[in-house]
C-alpha cells in the first residue's frame, strides 16, 4: 500500500467512523459542512499551538503538512489549468523539472473560443480523473484573470476579456474537477493582469471596476461551482497584498459570496503571515520552513493574534482535507483523454477569414505545407502550466494521413526569428509545386510565457516576410496560426484564409487539419477582441504598470466594452468566427425572464452557432459600456434546421456596482437587449423596461471621459476622482529598497554591487531570450521581491535574514552581512527547536477517532 493508498483507506474508515458516530450522537444530517465543522472544532482542541501555526504553511513545494495523530493527512497540490503537472523528482513551480505524462488539453484561451460550458465541464472531469490517478488532491486551476491587455504573458492561460464568459467556463472546469473527488483552485484572486513585477505590483483599481470586471468571474465560479479552495494572487490590490487583503478575502469572498473553503497563496505570494491569518488567507505555499509558524507563535505571544483567529484558519485546512475524496480514483484511459482533447480543440478553432470559400479543401488538393510550426507544434505556453503530454500530434504527420495530397514540406523560417534565405527560397519552391499553401505561422515560446509580458503584438518579421514572398507566386495561401493571444495582422490581405488554432494542446494539430479538410465545421468564436493595432487597446497607455503600481485607468472599458462604446474599429470583434455554413436569426422577444429568438442554419452543411446576448442601457443613469455580454448559447443545427432559443436573464444581467451605496443595484429604466453573432454583428434587438432603483446619475463619481468611453488619456486628477482617493506615490530614482521591492529595482539601489547584480540579471535574461529559450527562473527572480527569498527557501533564509540582505542592497554592506550571519545561526537554532517540538507533539498518543471527530 502506498502512503496515499493508506490515506485513502484511512479516509474511508474515518468517514465510516464519523458517520456512525453521528448516528450514535443522534445527528442524522448527511455528511456535510456542518458535520465537518463540528469535527474540526474538536480537532483544533487536540492540536498544539505550534501544530496549528505550522499547518498554515506548506511542508514542501507541493505538499501541505499532516498531523496523523488527529487523522489529518498531507495534501498534494499540482498545476494546472490545462493538464496535470505532477512533478517527478525535485519540485519547482515554474515548469522546469520533469513531470509525469498527462493529457495536455488546449489552454484556457483556446477553450474559451468554444463558448461551450459543458465541454469545459468535461475537461474538468478529465483533469480531475487524471489528478486522482496521479494522487493529486488539489488542481491549481483554472486561471481566470481578465485579459486587460493583449500583452499579458499569461493570457494563454486565461479565458477572456469578458468576466461573464470567463466565469461560466471556469465554473464548468471547477464542477468537473471536483466531481472526481479533488479540489479545484481557481486563480489568481484578483486583479492580476500583468507579469511585470508580478509579485511586487499594486493593482490600483476603482471599486466598481474591480467588482464588475475583475471579480465577477470569480463570483460566478464561487456561487455556481463552490470551489473547495481558491488561490490568492501575487499582487497587491489597492495597497494590500491579495493574500492578506480583508476586503477581498473576507468582505467579498466569504461574507458576500459565501465561500467557505481555503484560500491558498500563490507560490511565494504570502507577505505577512499574521496579516494573512487575520484577513482570511488560509495556507501559505510553498514552504517557508517553520519561519511563518514562528511568526504566528510570536504574534499570539505578543497578543496581536488570538488562538481563536488561528483556529478559524486551521478549521479551513481541516475542511479542505475532509472535502477531498481520494477514493474516487480510477484508471484513466489515456487514448480516450486524447480524443477528448481533440474534440475540445475542434470546438475551439476559429476561422477568421475564408475568401471565395477557399476552405474546406477537397480531397486530393495538392498542398505545400510550410512553416516550422507544422513540424514542431506550439500547443501550450511556458511556465508553471507546462504539461508533459501523453502523445503529441504534429500537422506534418496528420496531414500525411489526411485525404490531401501533400506535395512538399518546407520549414520556411527560423522559429526564433532572423532572416534565412535558404529556408525561404526552399519554401517558395515548395509553394510553386502546389495548388494551395498551408502556411503554419505563430508566436514562439519566448513570446508567451509566465513571468514575461509581450512588448508588441506582431508576428516575427521573418514569418511575415515569408508570407509576403509566397504571395508573389500564389494567392491561394491558408495561414494556420498558433498563438495563445491576439496578434496584429497588417499582412491579412496576403492570406486568402486564416484558421486560428490558438494553443490546441496535444491533439491540436488534428483539430486544425480536420477544419482544413472540412471533417469539422469550425464553430469557435473569439473570446477576445483583435484590435487593428496595439495602440488601440484601451489599457495601452497604462500597461504594464512599470513602477510600484499598475493603474487601471481605463476603468470598466476593457476589451470590447471600450471598442464598442468609443466606436473604435477593430480587426476582429469579440465573439467573431466564421463557419462553413450560414445562420439566420429571427426577431427577438423579451420579457422579464429572458430573450427568445430563432436561429436557422441556412447553409448546406451541419454547423454550430454561438448566439450571444448583449445588454446596454437606454435611459440615462450611471456610466456604463454601450453593451455587455450577459448570456450565450451554442447550438448545433443541420442544414435547414431551426431552433428556438431562450437565453434567460439572471442576477448579473442588469446590475451595476453602486459606489455610492457600496452594493449591487439595478437601475430602473429602459434597457437594450441585442442578440448577435458577435458584439458588432447584432442580428436582432428589443427594448425592455426593467424595474429597480431610481437612476441616480449624480451619485456616479466618474468624471466626463468615462461617460463616453474615451479613456485613452485619463489624467491623474480624473483617475483620483474615479478612485475616490489620492493616487499612490510612484517610486523613481535612486532610493532605499525594502523587503517588498522587486529584485529588478536593484538598478535604483544605493549599493553599487546591487546595481551590478541588476545589470547581470538583465543581461542573463536578454541572453536567454536571444537563444529563444525563456529562462523562467530568471524571469521569476527579476520580478520577485526580496521577501520571496525567505518565503521560498524552505526555511533556509528567515525574514530577518531577508531584512539584512536589504540592508546590504541599501549600501550598508557590513551591517547587512553581520545580520545575515547572525540571522542564519539564530534561524537555524529556532528552526531546529520548533522542528523538534513538532516531532514531539506528533508522538503524543492518538486520541480516539470518535473523540476527534465528534467531541465525544
Ligand atoms: C504561478 C501559479 C502556479 C504556482 C505553482 C506560480 O508561480 O503563478 O499559477 O499555480 O506557481 O506552480
> What would the grid cell of residue 476 be?
491561394
Mean pLDDT of 586-598: 98
- Which residue, judged by its Cα, is nearest atom 2 of ligand 1? 266
Mean pLDDT of 683-707: 90
Mutate to test the pocket of ligand 1, among 267, 451, 785 (most ligand atoms within 8 A of CB): 267
Rounded CA-CA distance 688/591 in Å is 7
Mutate to test the pocket of ligand 1, among 93, 107, 285, 777 (most ligand atoms within 8 A of CB): 93
State residue 847's pLDDT score: 65
Q: Which atom of ligand 1 is nearest to the CA of 187?
A: 9
Mean pLDDT of 6-34: 33
- Which residue, judged by its Cα, is nearest atom 8 of ligand 1? 266
Q: Is the pLDDT of residue 308 over 90?
A: yes
- Please give the DSSP secondary-structure letter assigned to residue 69: G
State residue 90's pLDDT score: 67
Q: How far is CA 414 from the centre of its chain?
A: 30
Q: Which atom of ligand 1 is nearest to the CA of 286?
A: 5
State residue 94's pLDDT score: 64
Within 10 angstroms of residue 416's Cβ, the number of other Cβ atoms is 16
Q: Which atom of ligand 1 is nearest to the CA of 93?
A: 12
CB-CB contact of 164 with 630 (8 Å)? yes
Closest CA to 595 of 632, 642, 635, 634: 632
Mutate to test the pocket of ligand 1, among 76, 284, 384 (most ligand atoms within 8 A of CB): 384
State residue 334's pLDDT score: 97
Q: Which atom of ligand 1 is nearest to the CA of 185?
A: 10
Rounded CA-CA distance 505/482 in Å is 11
Query: How far apart are the CA of 317 and the centre of ligand 1, in A?
Result: 20
Mutate to test the pocket of ligand 1, among 60, 63, 78, 79 (most ligand atoms within 8 A of CB): 79
Beta bridge partners of 441: 481
Query: How far apart are the CA of 422 and the centre of ligand 1, in A?
Result: 41
State residue 359's pLDDT score: 98
Rounded CA-CA distance 60/52 in Å is 17
- Model pLDDT for residues 50-97, shown as the tens digit of each residue: 999 999 999 999 999 999 999 999 999 999 889 999 988 766 666 667
- Which residue, judged by its Cα, is nearest atom 5 of ligand 1? 93
Query: How far apart are the CA of 242 and the centre of ligand 1, in A?
Result: 15
- Model pLDDT for residues 357-381, shown as the tens digit of each residue: 999 999 999 999 999 999 999 999 9
CB-CB contact of 138 with 76 (8 Å)? yes
Under the banding of pLDDT at 50, 70 and 90, the label for residue 765 is: confident
Closest CA to 345 of 201, 181, 523: 523
Rounded CA-CA distance 315/452 in Å is 37
Kindly list the protein residues whose Cβ atom lies closer than 6 A to any atom of ligand 1: 79-80, 93, 140, 187, 266-267, 384
Query: How far apart are the CA of 148 and the centre of ligand 1, in A?
Result: 20
Query: How far apart are the CA of 476 and the centre of ligand 1, in A?
Result: 43
> What would the grid cell of residue 63 be?
505538499
* Distance set, CA 822 to CA 239, 798, 800, 804, 833 (Å): 32, 11, 9, 10, 17
- Cβ neighbours for 394, distance < 8 A, ≥ 6 positions apart: 374, 375, 376, 377, 509
Query: How far apart are the CA of 283 and the centre of ligand 1, in A?
Result: 14
State residue 699's pLDDT score: 80
Q: Which atom of ligand 1 is nearest to the CA of 198?
A: 8
- Name the residue with higher pLDDT: 701 or 231: 231
State residue 600's pLDDT score: 98
Within 10 angstroms of residue 621's Cβ, the number of other Cβ atoms is 22
Q: Is the pLDDT of residue 856 over 50?
A: no
Could you give the 3-state DSSP secondary structure of residue 440? Answer: strand
State residue 731's pLDDT score: 64
State residue 60's pLDDT score: 94
Helices (H), 784-812: 787-791, 799-809
**Average pLDDT value for the chain:** 91
CB-CB contact of 48 with 32 (8 Å)? no
Q: Which atom of ligand 1 is nearest to the CA of 157?
A: 9
Query: How far apart are the CA of 758 and the centre of ligand 1, in A?
Result: 24
Mutate to test the pocket of ligand 1, among 140, 156, 268 (most ligand atoms within 8 A of CB): 140
CB-CB contact of 128 with 120 (8 Å)? no
Q: Which atom of ligand 1 is nearest to the CA of 80?
A: 10
Query: How far apart are the CA of 680 and the centre of ligand 1, in A?
Result: 36
Rounded CA-CA distance 127/137 in Å is 11
Query: How far apart are the CA of 145 and the centre of ligand 1, in A?
Result: 13
State residue 2's pLDDT score: 37
Q: Which residues have a catalytic role annotated?
A: 266
Ranges of beta strands (E only) in 549-626 are 549-551, 570-572, 583-585, 589-590, 594-601, 607-617
> What would the grid cell of residue 459 be?
508576428
Query: How far apart are the CA of 653 and the centre of ligand 1, in A?
Result: 33
User: Residue 788 half-sphere exposure, CB side, CA atoms within 13 Å?
Assistant: 22
Q: Which of 15-29, 161-175, 734-748 is least confident?
A: 15-29
Amino acid at each position: 500500500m502506498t502512503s496515499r493508498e493508506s490515506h485513502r483507506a484511512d479516509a474511508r474508515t474515518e468517514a465510516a467512523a464519523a458517520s456512525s458516530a453521528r448516528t450514535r450522537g443522534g445527528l442524522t444530517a448527511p455528511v456535510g459542512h456542518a458535520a465537518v465543522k463540528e469535527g474540526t472544532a474538536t480537532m483544533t482542541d487536540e492540536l498544539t499551538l505550534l501544530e496549528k501555526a505550522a499547518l498554515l504553511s506548506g511542508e514542501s513545494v507541493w505538499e501541505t503538512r499532516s498531523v496523523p495523530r488527529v487523522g489529518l493527512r498531507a495534501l498534494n497540490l499540482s498545476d494546472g489549468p490545462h493538464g496535470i503537472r505532477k512533478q517527478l523528482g525535485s519540485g519547482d513551480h515554474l515548469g522546469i523539472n520533469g513531470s509525469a505524462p498527462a493529457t495536455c488539453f488546449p489552454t484556457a484561451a483556446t477553450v474559451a473560443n468554444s463558448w461551450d460550458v459543458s465541454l469545459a465541464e468535461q475537461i474538468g472531469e478529465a483533469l480531475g480523473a487524471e489528478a486522482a490517478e496521479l494522487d493529486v488532491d488539489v488542481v491549481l486551476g483554472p486561471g481566470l484573470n481578465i485579459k486587460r491587455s493583449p500583452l499579458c504573458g499569461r493570457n494563454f492561460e486565461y479565458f477572456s476579456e469578458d468576466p461573464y464568459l470567463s466565469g461560466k467556463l471556469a465554473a464548468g472546469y471547477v464542477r468537473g474537477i471536483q466531481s472526481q473527488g479533488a479540489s479545484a483552485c481557481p486563480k489568481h484572486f484578483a486583479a492580476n493582469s500583468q507579469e511585470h513585477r508580478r509579485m511586487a505590483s499594486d493593482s490600483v483599481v476603482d471599486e466598481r471596476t474591480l467588482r464588475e470586471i475583475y471579480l465577477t468571474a470569480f463570483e460566478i465560479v464561487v456561487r455556481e461551482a463552490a470551489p473547495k479552495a481558491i488561490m490568492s494572487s501575487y499582487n497587491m490590490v489597492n495597497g494590500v497584498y491579495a493574500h492578506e487583503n480583508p476586503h477581498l478575502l473576507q468582505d467579498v469572498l466569504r461574507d458576500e459570496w459565501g465561500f467557505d473553503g481555503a484560500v491558498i497563496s500563490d507560490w511565494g505570494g504570502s507577505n505577512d503571515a499574521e496579516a494573512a491569518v487575520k484577513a482570511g488567507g488560509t495556507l501559505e505555499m510553498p514552504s517557508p520552513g517553520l519561519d511563518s509558524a514562528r511568526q504566528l507563535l510570536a504574534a499570539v505571544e505578543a497578543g496581536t493574534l488570538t488562538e481563536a483567529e488561528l483556529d478559524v484558519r486551521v478549521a479551513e485546512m481541516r475542511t479542505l482535507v475532509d472535502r477531498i475524496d481520494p477514493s474516487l480514483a480510477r484508471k484513466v484511459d489515456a487514448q480516450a483523454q486524447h480524443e477528448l482533447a481533440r474534440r475540445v480543440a475542434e470546438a475551439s478553432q476559429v476561422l477568421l477569414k475564408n475568401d471565395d470559400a477557399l476552405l474546406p479543401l477537397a480531397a486530393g488538393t495538392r498542398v505545400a505545407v510550410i512553416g516550422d510550426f507544422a513540424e514542431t507544434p506550439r500547443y501550450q505556453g511556458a511556465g508553471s502550466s507546462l504539461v508533459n503530454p501523453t502523445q503529441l500530434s504534429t500537422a506534418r504527420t496528420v496531414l500525411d494521413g489526411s485525404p490531401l495530397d501533400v506535395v512538399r514540406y518546407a520549414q520556411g523560417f527560423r522559429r526564433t526569428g532572423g532572416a534565412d534565405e535558404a529556408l525561404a527560397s526552399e519554401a517558395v519552391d515548395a509553394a510553386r509545386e502546389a495548388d494551395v499553401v498551408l502556411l503554419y505561422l505563430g508566436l514562439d515560446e519566448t513570446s508567451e510565457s509566465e513571468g514575461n509580458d509581450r512588448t508588441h503584438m506582431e508576428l516575427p518579421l521573418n514569418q511575415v516576410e515569408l508570407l509576403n514572398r509566397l504571395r508573389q507566386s500564389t494567392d491561394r495561401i491558408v495561414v494556420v496560426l498558433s498563438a495563445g493571444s491576439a496578434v496584429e495582422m497588417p499582412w491579412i490581405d496576403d492570406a486568402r484564409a486564416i484558421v486560428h488554432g490558438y494553443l490546441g494542446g496535444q491533439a491540436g494539430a488534428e483539430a486544425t487539419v480536420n477544419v482544413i479538410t472540412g471533417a469539422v465545421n469550425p464553430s469557435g468564436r473569439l473570446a477576445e477582441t483583435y484590435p487593428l493595432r496595439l495602440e488601440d487597446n484601451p489599457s495601452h497607455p497604462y500597461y504594464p504598470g512599470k513602477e510600484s503600481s499598475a493603474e487601471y485607468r481605463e476603468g470598466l472599458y476593457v476589451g470590447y466594452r471600450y471598442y464598442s462604446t468609443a466606436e473604435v474599429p477593430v480587426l476582429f470583434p469579440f465573439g467573431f468566427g466564421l463557419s462553413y455554413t450560414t445562420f439566420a436569426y429571427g426577431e427577438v422577444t423579451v420579457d422579464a425572464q429572458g430573450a427568445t429568438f430563432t436561429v436557422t442554419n441556412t447553409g448546406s452543411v451541419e454547423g454550430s452557432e454561438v448566439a450571444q446576448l448583449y445588454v446596454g442601457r437606454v435611459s440615462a443613469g450611471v456610466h456604463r459600456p454601450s453593451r455587455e455580454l450577459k448570456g450565450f448559447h451554442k447550438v448545433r443545427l443541420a442544414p435547414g434546421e431551426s431552433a428556438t432559443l431562450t437565453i434567460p436573464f439572471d442576477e448579473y444581467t442588469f446590475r451595476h456596482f453602486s459606489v455610492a451605496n457600496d452594493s449591487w443595484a439595478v437601475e430602473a429604466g429602459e434597457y437594450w437587449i441585442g442578440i448577435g453573432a458577435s458584439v458588432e454583428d447584432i442580428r436582432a434587438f428589443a427594448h425592455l423596461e426593467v424595474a429597480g432603483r431610481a437612476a441616480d446619475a449624480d451619485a456616479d463619481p466618474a468624471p466626463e471621459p468615462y461617460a463616453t468611453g474615451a479613456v485613452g488619456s485619463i489624467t491623474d486628477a480624473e483617475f483620483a476622482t474615479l478612485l475616490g482617493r489620492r493616487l499612490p506615490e510612484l517610486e523613481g530614482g535612486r532610493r532605499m529598497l525594502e523587503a517588498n521591492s522587486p529584485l529588478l529595482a536593484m538598478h535604483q539601489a544605493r549599493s553599487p554591487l546591487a546595481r551590478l547584480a541588476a545589470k547581470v540579471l538583465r543581461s542573463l535574461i536578454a541572453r536567454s531570450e536571444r537563444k529563444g529559450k525563456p529562462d523562467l527562473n530568471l524571469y521569476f527572480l527579476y520580478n520577485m521581491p526580496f521577501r520571496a527569498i525567505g518565503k521560498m527557501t524552505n526555511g533556509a533564509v528567515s525574514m530577518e535574514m531577508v531584512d539584512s540582505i536589504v540592508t546590504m542592497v541599501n549600501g550598508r554592506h557590513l551591517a547587512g552581512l553581520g545580520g545575515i550571519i547572525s540571522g542564519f545561526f539564530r534561524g537555524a537554532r529556532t528552526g531546529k527547536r520548533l522542528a523538534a517540538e513538532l516531532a514531539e507533539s506528533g508522538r503524543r498518543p492518538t486520541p480516539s477517532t470518535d473523540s476527534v471527530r465528534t467531541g465525544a
